[in-house]
Amino acid sequence: MQADGDDLRVFQDGVEVDRWLNGINTTDTHVIVNVDMPASATVTLATAIGSTDTVTQVDVDKTDANADQFSNFPTSGRLIIDASLGSTDTEEFTYTAKGENSTAYYFTIEDRSVRNTSGYAHAVGANVRFLPFDFTLVYGSSDASAPVTDDTRKPLQDLTSRNWSYSYTYFYDEQGTRPGSWKKLPRKVSNQLLTESLLYTSTDDAGDTDPATALGMKAATYESGGVWLGDTVNQGWVLSIPDGFDNITPAGAQNQSSTSRPSAFFSGYSDLPFPQPAFYTVPAQSATDYSTWSTWSSTSKDVTVNRLVDRITWRQKGSITGSTDESAKVELSSMTITTVNYPHVTIRDEPAAVNNNNLDFKLSNATTGESLRIIYPLTLNEKLTIDTNPDFPNAKVNGQIVNGAVELSSIRTAWLKLNPGSNTIGFDTNLAVATNITITIKWRDRLNFL
């Protein structure tokens, strides 16, 4: 691979996706992609499997714990069976259905040892896991340039973040398309028309920036009819963390002009029927620092986080009073969040260099002028099946439908129709040697009855 990683491509279920690199060509290289991960689903094996057994069904223990997890498995897909995460006995299976009988939950197996995994002996009690996605890393082109990425969907977390730890120095984008973005909470103030209280997104309230370099909150008195009035505010920001979290380490700055200030604090939010206590409350500014910016920070939370809490709020709540123009500003400028129940990724050994092929071909019908293009990473001797059945067209590899890898030459309901009579089918590929690939075309004749 190139030292700068320009040739590195990531495919999710056969479709190339945006990727961002951090620490490339070091011992801490990370490849970042955006994925909506489903809830994890893991059950335990009820019947042992031999390394050479022909497997048509995988049985799962019929327990209450497995019942909850079993419902998270889709009706078809892929399974991983292993003794523990990252163990050397990891084997992948494809299944076409699931069900239950009087003694077990079960999966109907289509194939075992798929995608370059080997057959292993799996003992009773082994883990049976749902595998939601197939990611393939493709590289090795010495003259490839870096792919064009859509940075409007680049994670807002710093790229130094990891699945188990989110680091923030940017927080919010106006378009709301970047994952990991904080959102504005509904704002409550004393007078919506005259209020001077607001949210802002730059450090030291120096004008709004996008993406936000700070999550700022300002409470201020306001003037009405020549009289200064206090304001009572409840405003702030919220971040959703579906994986859950157990610690926060925030830091920022504040600037208050008098002793009067609303409270500024972090708390949790969830669908629980009771309020969550504050994780951390920012202490009041020292009187010697009034009307200047001074920093605050916390290395840990003040209370234990309920495991069901999946949102963090950064809020300013309370009243500010005064007979002149008074304000209390507080902002978050950096934060690290330790997550729990985060997704894991298993990196398998790469095949031999000769197997590392990114197949790119076009199948065309010169008679109709239509074509379809397939871009998919295939290993040696792996089979790609394209079914152009107009009722349910699909491309499939190892039992997995990869329709996203198909690019059609026009918008239509059928893939590569055949005209009655003779059709000229063309095949163009990026492979240098034509004998590298075998293509078999089958069709079903239409029967006409008079």
Q: Are residues 244 and 392 in the same domain?
A: no
Residue 141 within a domain: no
Is the separation of the CB atoms in 440 and 429 below 8 Å?
A: no
Give, for all 450 residues of the chain, the pLDDT tens digit. 899 999 898 988 878 899 999 999 999 999 999 988 887 889 999 999 999 999 999 999 999 889 989 998 999 999 999 999 888 899 999 999 999 999 999 999 999 998 778 999 999 999 999 999 888 888 877 778 888 999 999 999 999 999 899 999 999 999 989 999 999 999 999 999 999 999 999 999 998 999 999 999 999 999 999 999 999 999 999 999 988 888 899 999 999 999 999 999 999 877 766 667 788 999 999 999 999 999 999 987 777 777 778 899 999 999 999 999 999 999 999 999 999 888 777 777 776 555 556 678 888 889 988 888 888 777 667 788 888 887 788 888 877 778 878 888 876 667 888 888 888 988 887 666 555 666 777 777 665 554
- What does residue 7 show for φ and ψ, rounded to 5 degrees? -85, -5
| pLDDT recorded at residue 290 | 97
Q: Are residues 271 and 406 in the same domain?
A: no
Q: Are residues 270 and 320 in the same domain?
A: yes
Q: Are residues 169 and 257 in the same domain?
A: yes
User: Nearest CA to 244 among 344, 343, 340?
Assistant: 340
**Run of H or E including 64:** helix 64-70
| pLDDT recorded at residue 445 | 67
| pLDDT recorded at residue 437 | 64
| pLDDT recorded at residue 39 | 77
Q: Are residues 290 and 202 in the same domain?
A: yes
Length of the chain: 450
Compute the distance between CA of residue 261 and CA of residue 329 in angstroms, rounded to an integer.
Answer: 9
Residue 429 within a domain: yes
Q: How far is CA 331 from CA 35, 214, 311, 447, in A?
A: 30, 6, 19, 74
Q: Are residues 174 and 276 in the same domain?
A: yes
| pLDDT recorded at residue 151 | 93
Q: Are residues 96 and 119 in the same domain?
A: yes
* Count of domains for the chain: 3
Helices (H), 237-366: none
Q: Which residue has the tokens 């994925």?
A: 35
Q: Is the peptide bond before 277 cis (omega within 30 degrees of 0)?
A: no
Q: Are residues 265 and 189 in the same domain?
A: yes
Residue 22 within a domain: no
Tokens found for residue 342: 């985060």
Domain boundary among 109, 132, 155: 132
| pLDDT recorded at residue 341 | 82
Q: How far is CA 158 from CA 21, 137, 345, in A?
A: 11, 22, 19
Using the 8-state DSSP alphabet, how is residue 65 labeled?
H
Which CATH number goes with the domain that contains 89? 2.40.10
| pLDDT recorded at residue 275 | 67
Residue-number span of the structural domain to which 404 is assigned: 353-436
pTM above 0.85, yes or no: no
Residue 1 within a domain: no
Domain boundary among 339, 363, 388: 339
| pLDDT recorded at residue 263 | 97
**Run of H or E including 295:** strand 294-297
Q: Are residues 98 and 219 in the same domain?
A: no
Is the separation of the CB atoms in 61 and 77 below 8 Å?
A: no
Residue 26 within a domain: no
| pLDDT recorded at residue 240 | 92
Q: Are residues 183 and 314 in the same domain?
A: yes
Tokens found for residue 248: 């926060």
Q: What is the DSSP string of 190-248?
A: S-TTT---EEE-SGGG-S--SS-S-EEEEEE-EEETTEEE-EEEEEEEEEE-TT-EEEE
User: Nearest CA to 372 among 422, 421, 411, 423?
Assistant: 411
| pLDDT recorded at residue 305 | 77
